Amino acid sequence: MEKTTLRPPVEGQEHWTKKGSDVRIFLWEKRAPQSVAKLGTILFVHGSSMASQPTFDLQVPGRDDSSIMDHFARVGFDTWCADMEGYGRSSKHRDITSNIKDGADDLSVATDYMQKVRNTGPLFVYGISSGALRAAAFAERHPERIRRLALDAFVWTGKGSPTLEQRRKRLPEYAAMNRRPIDRPFVRSIFERDHPGTADDATIEAFADAILALDDSVPTGTYVDMCAHLPLVDPRKITAPTIIMRGEFDGIAGVQDLMDFFALLPNPDKQFAVMPGIAHASIQQKNYRLVYHILQSFFTQPEPVYTA
For residue 138, which of 82, 190, 177, 86 has the smallest C-alpha distance? 82
Quick check: 282 and 47 in contact, CB under 8 A?
Answer: no
Q: Give residue 307's pLDDT.
A: 87
pLDDT attached to residue 213: 98
Which residue numbers in the chain have pLDDT < 50? 1-2
Question: How many angstroms separate the CA atoms of 272 and 242, rounded?
Answer: 9
d(CA 239, CA 28): 27
Model pLDDT, residue 14:
98
What's the start-to-end Cα distance of the chain, in Å? 55
**Is residue 49 a contact partner of residue 191, using CB atoms and an 8 Å limit?**
no
CA distances (Å), origin 195, targets 41, 50, 129, 165, 254: 33, 20, 17, 17, 15
pLDDT at residue 3 in the model: 54
The whole-angstrom separation of Cα 205 and Cα 133 is 27
Q: Please, are residues 5 and 17 in contact by the beta-carbon 8 Å criterion?
A: no
Q: CB–CB of 134/156 below 8 Å? A: no
* pLDDT at site 5: 73
CA–CA distance, 195 with 144 (Å, rounded to integer):
38
Residue 231: is the preceding peptide bond cis (ω within 30°)? yes
246 residue type, one letter: R
At the topology level, CATH places domain 12-299 in Rossmann fold (3.40.50)
